[in-house]
Structure 1
Amino acid sequence: MSQFQSGADALNALNATNEGGGNKAEFASFKTGTSYKVRVLGTADLIRFYSYGIFKKVNSFVAKNPSVKNPKGFPVENLTPWDLAWKHYQDLKFKAADAGNADKEKEYGELAYQFKAKERYALGFIDLATGDHIIIDLSKKQAQAVHAVIKKNEKKLGKVAFELSKTGSGQQTTVMLSLLFDLDEDLTDKERENFAKYEGKAFDMALFDGLLYEADEKEQVENLVAAGFDISLIGLSVGGQNDIGEEDLPF
């Protein structure tokens, strides 16, 4: 898990103002309309990661050999194939802007975003309905909003529960962590029992190991082809130096 920032390191990144695996852990389902009553065991039960993928085309993954990012999250060294695809369209976007072509600037900007590494956070909680650890996948803005509530109530974490919920869709999606003050009123007997059994315990950070699917360079190139990107635009080719044969492509 060395490529991912966890605990205090992830927390520092979360609070910055700039703009597949060894265990069976996986992200808990967190679709719009979902809510969980949870216990928070600590303020640093999270990791930061950079995810690639295109909805309904390529499932989310992280790079096995990730690029070096600057403080704003842009790749600057050791670019992955997906970083190169992002850079290809980003460069075209800048050229269109310089030429005063607003339509092309917008088009290339949208294409660049598809291949951009998205900064994400995985936050750990205790699901009071089951008594199990759960891990929730959030964007940076969503994680900041959730963590602000956790931090504000840091001294009360052993005494209060929370409700984690998601509403809305698209850019109107909202994730909220709401305080549940009265355990007797707000929790069932089973939920109170599950709350109590974690007294004095810490979140199992080992659950973050193997949580994310890691793709090597060969698979990333295959994913670019699956996404409809012309890999020759970034100097890659089928059967070239990446040793990808036609039989390896996902179609």
Structure 2
Amino acid sequence: MTQFQKGAAALGALQAGGSEGGNLNTIDFAKFSVGSSYKVRVLGTEDLMQYFGYGVYKKVNTFVAKNPSTRNEKGFVVSDHTPWDLAEKYHRDLQFAAKDAGNEKEEKAQSQEAGKYRGKERFAMGFVDLAAGKEIVVDLTRNQALDVYATITKYEKKLGKLAFELTKTNATGQAKDTKVALTPLIDFDEDLNEKERENFAKFDGKEFNAALFDGLLFEADEKTQIENLVAAGFDISLIGLSLGAGSESNEAPAEDSFDF
């Protein structure tokens, strides 16, 4: 698999299944925390990019590997493991050993630790923000992207006539319960103000600018990844690494981490 899958390739990855799975350079993801809401226009069915991001919530900000591991079509690492893949594998091996020993408590604990370091499949999706009159990119988990894409598919033939509301909610405070919804706005006069209607019309006949996906994610070299493992609380000596390993460092980001 290549580092980033865009358009039809990303769509195929979203539909095919697989695993559940930096900082921003010249372009930022649109702010999309719980409670956020955007009125948007959808320009097409392939305005998305798939990637595998690493990070630990509130400890290490989201990044992608500068030299990514090789994954199979289901998204599982098969070779060229990154330091974070090695950390996951370390705990995954302990998980399997605990399972073979019948130790369910240890098996669960090691599974949770392995999950911290797993490269998680995510999707960047493009929309037009009708309030601002510009194209935006939002960052979604696989399941969130599937929910959004189901709505896009349902109204595919009416995308040129419908606006939508894109929302993120969470009823419990648990990351797994974060929901993203794309809801059609049927009545332009009632649901959109004059400026939003003007911005909708401004994009008639236009395609989403796919260049907005380029340079979107922070690509961490090996040295930065090792430093991030230490920051996450992993003992890198367990996988034969030290802080002196790796290539020249890129300065790590200090803005975002996975926002589920």
TM superposition score category, shorter chain reference: over 0.9
Give CA-to-partner distance per residue, 1:211-234, whole Å, 9 cap, x none. 101001111011111112111111
Residue in structure 2 matched with residue 16 of structure 1 by the alignment: 16
| Contact 1:22–1:209 under 8 Å retained in 2 | no
Deviation at 1:243, TM superposition (A): 6.5
Deviation readout 1:181-209 (Å, 9 max, x if unpaired) = 12122110000000000000011100110
Aligned equivalent of 2:92: 90
Cα deviation digits, residues 19-77 of structure 1 (max 9, x gap): 46896211111111111100000000000000000011110000011111123322111
Gaps of 5+ in 1: none
Task: Tell me which of 206, 228, 231 is aligned to 2:233.
Answer: 228
SS in 1 for 2:90: helix
Are 1:218 and 2:220 matched, yes or no? no
Distance 2:104 2:86 in 1: 23
Residue 161 of structure 2 is matched in structure 1 by 159
Instruction: Determine the C-alpha separation between the residues in 1 that align with 2:244 and 2:130.
Output: 51
- Residue pair 2:50, 2:122 contacting (<8 A) in 1 also: yes
Identity %: 59
Which structure 2 residues correspond to residues 194-213 of structure 1 after superposition, within 5 A?
Answer: 194-213=199-218
Alignment correspondent of 2:142: 140
Deviations 1:77-115 (A, max 9, x none): 110000000000000000000000111101100000000
Q: TM-score normalised to the size of structure 2? A: 0.90
Shift of 1:237: 2.0
Give the Cα separation in 2 of the matches to 1:200 and 1:226: 47
Amino acid at match of 1:158: G
Counterpart CA distance in 1 for 2:46 and 2:33 is 24
Q: 1:58 to 1:23 in 2, by over 3 A?
A: closer
The reply to whether residue 181 of structure 1 matches residue 186 of structure 2 is: yes
Single out whichever of 98-107 and 23-32 deviates more from structure 2: 23-32
Contact preservation (8 Å) 1:23, 1:209: no
Q: Which amino acid aligns with 1:193?
A: E
Contact 1:37 1:162 in 2 (8 A): yes
Work out which of the residue numbers 70, 73, 76 in structure 2 matches 1:74: 76
User: Number of residue pairs matched?
Assistant: 245
The ranges of structure 1 where at least 4 consecutive aligned residues each deviate by more than 4 angstroms after the TM superposition are: 19-23
The alignment's TM-score, normalised by the length of structure 1, stands at: 0.93
